[in-house]
């Protein structure tokens, strides 16, 4: 299925959108580990294993 090439503006907009999503995911991951550590205590890995 042939796709129409996107305009540079649209490409840039989508790249920004993806970067935002990536940043959001990374921040979520940090918060996630913070919550897990808070609930399970430190050191997390030792307790988990």
Partner 1 sequence: MTYIADSDAVPGGGSPAAGIAVSDAMVSDYIALLKPRVMSLVVFTALVGMVMAPTHIHAALAVIALAMIAIGAGASGALNMWFESDIDALMTRTRGRPLPRGAITHDEALTFGIMLSAGSVLVLGLVANWLAAALLAFTIFFYAVVYTQWLKRTTPLNIVIGGAAGAMPPVVAWAAMTGDLSLPPVILFLIIFLWTPPHFWALALYKSDDYARAGVPMLPVVAGSDETRRQIIVYSAFYLPATLLPVTCGFAGLLYGGIAMLLALCFGVGAWRVYRLRQGGKAEQAARQLFALSILHLFLLFVLLLVEHISGVSPLMAPLAGWMAG
Q: What angle do CA 42, 43, 48 make, to 5 degrees?
A: 110
Virtual CA dihedral for 16, 22, 28, 33, nearest 10 degrees?
-150
The pair of three-digit structure tokens given for residue 30, joined into one six-digit string: 């940090």
Task: Map residues 14-33 to x or -, x wherever contact with partner 1 holds by CB under 8 A.
Answer: xx-xx--x-------x--x-
Q: Which of 9, 42, 45, 46 binds partner 1 (CB under 8 A)?
A: 45
Which residues make up the interface to partner 1 (CB under 8 A)?
A: 1, 3, 5-6, 10-11, 14-15, 17-18, 21, 29, 32, 35-36, 39-40, 44-45, 48-49
């Amino acid at each position: 299925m042939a796709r129409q090439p996107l305009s540079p503006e649209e490409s840039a907009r989508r790249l920004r959108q993806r970067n935002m999503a990536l940043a959001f995911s990374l921040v979520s991951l940090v918060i996630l580990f913070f919550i897990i550590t808070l609930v399970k205590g430190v050191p997390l890995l030792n307790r988990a294993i």
